[in-house]
A and B are shown apart, each in its own frame.
Chain A
Amino acid sequence: MKLLALFLLFCSSTFAQVPFERIVNADREPGNWLSYSRDLQGRRFSPLTEINTQNVSGLRVKWAFQFREPHTEVSPIVIDGILFVTGPNSAAAIDGRSGRLLWTWTRPLPADFHSIGFGHTNRGPAVLDDRLFVATLDGYLVALDLKSGIERWSSKVLNYKTGYSMTMAPLAIDGKVVIGVSGGEAGIRGFIDAYDAKTGQRVWRFWTIPGPGEPGHDTWSGEAWKTGGGATWVTGSYDPELKLIYWGVGNPGPDWNGDVRRGDNLYTCSLLALDADSGKLRWYFQFSPHDTHDWDATHVPILFDAPIHGTNRKLVAVANRNAFYYVLDRATGEFLLGKPYAKQTWATGLDAKGRPIAAPNAEPTKEGNLIWPNLNGATVWFSPSYDPQTGLVYVATREIGARYFKRDTPYKPGAFFPGGGEDELPADDASGAIKALQAESGELRWEFKLHSPPWAGVLSTAGGLVFSGSEEGNFYALDTNTGKPLWDFQTGGAIGANPISFTIDRHQFIAIAADRVLYVFGL
């Protein structure tokens, strides 16, 4: 009896308690989805097997949840049967059995808020201990009580009036919540912040554009560093052993006119490895030095180990917006390989250190230059997936070119700061694909063609399935080994979100947001 009471006490206290131990050991509880990519390694892989290649054709909608706002991009957190979702300046807890609301939270958006270069959206919450963390468009990081949705604290991260904003899911690590900013089209100076999860006090800030006297500052001409962009708007990954945070940095500003910011423009279009305790830079790798195409390197970095030339290495892989797939040593940042995974015409290749060799006529001009990929890149913010069973990385890939233009843009605080623009090729000249790349080599194993360039992320599962969505509303499952389509469902709305998987009452479910609806599928 005493034991039972203790057991019950344990159950009730763990219900809303998600210590870092649980997050870091995500594989011990495959029925939950405790961080943006489920694990801290950015894999978006579910070890669940109930839904598999044999029975996926019987997948059907169990329930749906309607958001107030359209174009939902949320990747929910799931804890012991409860889904936690976010919208622009809002959050909610949903009962996983019934799809019914348990609580909601909103923060009014100031009337003068104006998003520059992105929609009013939010890509998900983070969880740590008894708190849910949400980033708001108007620049607050908010900690909510998991059980009630009541605000515990909120910290001002930024001033939205100069074009900063936040749309991303925070990354919760041991005792800290890490967050990045949007605003790369508004002449911001980007940064990554870490906050104390208990108090909301800022622990450190890393500026993505070095100030005077700091290493890398000389990669900017004149005063350009002050308005140089370098947003950090996609959730990073974390290696708990190396205690390194891996985080992508966005484009330099103005986007398409590099004349006013001569130099490599560090650390824009780079992957950073930051010390989790201090926020100090351990290493960086710049994919697109002096970018003039808006190719943010803001992707979820995939952490995995694999043999390279016979030696097992700690690796990080990025399928970049610039159409190259990269593998780096994640302890040192050493460039190991890079190769195109989609059509690109801007570089003739990479040199031995991974620096691109520019192709002729690949710069935006007054008259316009036709270049692949377009400004949205060969892939964008939505997540890739790494499947440890196949050793493949699945990337939702965009095959589209555009004519890039260069213009003059004077900087004005809180205004669009583009320095040009693009004309996309017509819809029938564009397409998409899910591509399966061998993680350590980038070799293409299979591809599944899509009617149009996608805006949805990828989930892979131990059931041998890859799930993703299309702009035309198809949510579908492919065979992880062959790319063969096994099931599809028309959701009725464009899919621009990341899928997840979890269990309710021990049964596996798959969830995806399509336009304003969150669909939950089961057998």
Chain B
Amino acid sequence: MKTMCALQLLMVFFFGRASVSSAQQAVPASAPAARQRGLAGKLLFERHCALCHGMDGRGGRGPSLRRRKLVRAADDQALKSLIENGIPPEMPEAWFLSKGEIASVAAYVRTLGNAPEETLPGDPARGKAIYARSGCSACHILGGEGSGFGPDLTEVGGRRASARLRETLENPAKTLPENFLLIEATTDSGQTTRGIRLNEDTFSIQVKDQQGNIYSFRKSDLRNLKKLRGESPMPAYASVFSSAELDDLVNFLAAQRGKP
């Protein structure tokens, strides 16, 4: 019986929110409560989510949420589950929020989707051509094509806001992905390997070089282990591409949201 009540409340809440623009009068008794919970959701969002998704949900380090369809949250249940559990290592879980608070945040995130999506300058077809001719696929996989030294870009438009994509293209070292680390490992026999850290623990480290070769070292076998923090193997394209070309490339990358 208690479960029923909770379910009914949630339904009133969600349908109440969804009907705000078209039929606010449909649930007059619960509308003030719904508004209050909506406000609670906004406050929680600003406190816990805005650091990455922006105060207005336009994104930053995290993706814009001003979209009707969220790539990783097909329905409200998936959205709530995602808020509760996070997306390791990119997005922290919200273990400290109650079920009701999570529902409030999820409902608020859904209202962001009602806002008009941003229109980006540039042309995605020209962006695609720039991507193809500039050798990006020597380090990135996109839609199954390329090699895997750098981060996979297949869903990059769902992970990053467009402003962040542009920032990365202009100066990649400033916007390194979570847990990204360039490594230089020198063995006791003097052989040096430079690559991306795949994994690390107290006793071992696993590294991938630019050709995609994978190395595993016991740390006790290394003469030197340099962690090149803040360095990126990707060139800074701010002075390579024109502003219009960057617009094209950002437009193309922002559209990469994985398989529908």
Residues on A close to B: CB < 8 A? 111-112, 114, 116-117, 119, 185, 407, 414-416, 418, 421, 423, 426-428, 449-451, 470, 472-474, 476, 485, 488, 490
Q: Which 10 A-B pairs have the closest CB atoms?
A: A472-B201, A451-B202, A450-B202, A416-B96, A488-B203, A470-B202, A451-B201, A474-B202, A474-B201, A415-B98
Question: How many residues on B have C-beta within 8 angstroms of the other chain's C-beta atoms?
Answer: 23
B107 on interface, CB distance cutoff 8 Å: no
Give the distance in Å from the alpha carbon of A428 to the alpha carbon of B230 in the complex.
Answer: 11
Contacts A116-B98, A416-B96, A428-B229 given; indicate if A407 touches B47 (C-beta within 8 A).
yes
Given contacts A414-B98, A485-B203, A485-B220, 8 further A-B contacts (CB under 8 A): A117-B95, A421-B47, A428-B229, A451-B202, A472-B201, A473-B201, A476-B202, A488-B203
Give the distance in Å from the alpha carbon of A428 to the alpha carbon of B180 in the complex.
Answer: 10
Give the distance in Å from the alpha carbon of A256 to the alpha carbon of B4 in the complex.
Answer: 36
Query: Closest Cβ of chain B: how far from A257's Cβ, in Å?
Result: 13
Residues on B close to A: CB < 8 A? 2-3, 47-48, 51, 89, 95-99, 101, 178-179, 181, 199-203, 220, 227, 229
Give the distance in Å from the alpha carbon of A112 to the alpha carbon of B229 in the complex.
Answer: 46
Give the chain A neighbours of B95 by CB distance below 8 A: 117, 119
Query: Closest Cβ of chain A: how far from B174's Cβ, in Å?
Result: 14
Are B203 and A117 within 8 A (Cβ)?
Answer: no
Query: Closest Cβ of chain A: how far from B150's Cβ, in Å?
Result: 19
Are A451 and B200 within 8 A (Cβ)?
Answer: yes
Are A421 and B96 within 8 A (Cβ)?
Answer: yes
Are A112 and B2 within 8 A (Cβ)?
Answer: yes
Query: Closest Cβ of chain B: how far from A521's Cβ, in Å?
Result: 16
Give the chain A neighbours of B3 by CB distance below 8 A: 111
User: Which of A418, A428, A485 has the largest number of chain B CB atoms within 10 A?
Assistant: A428
Are B179 and A427 within 8 A (Cβ)?
Answer: yes
Give the chain B neighbours of A490 by CB distance below 8 A: 201
Q: List 7 A-B contacts (CB under 8 A).
A: A116-B96, A119-B95, A416-B97, A416-B101, A427-B89, A474-B202, A488-B203
Give the chain A neighbours of B227 by CB distance below 8 A: 428
Give the chain A neighbours of B47 by CB distance below 8 A: 407, 421
Cβ-closest chain A residue relative to B203 = A488
Give the distance in Å from the alpha carbon of A485 to the alpha carbon of B200 in the complex.
Answer: 17
Query: Closest Cβ of chain B: how far from A365's Cβ, in Å?
Result: 14
Are A114 and B98 within 8 A (Cβ)?
Answer: yes
Are B98 and A418 within 8 A (Cβ)?
Answer: no
Are A114 and B99 within 8 A (Cβ)?
Answer: yes
Give the distance in Å from the alpha carbon of A294 to the alpha carbon of B193 in the complex.
Answer: 43
Give the chain B neighbours of A116 by CB distance below 8 A: 96, 98
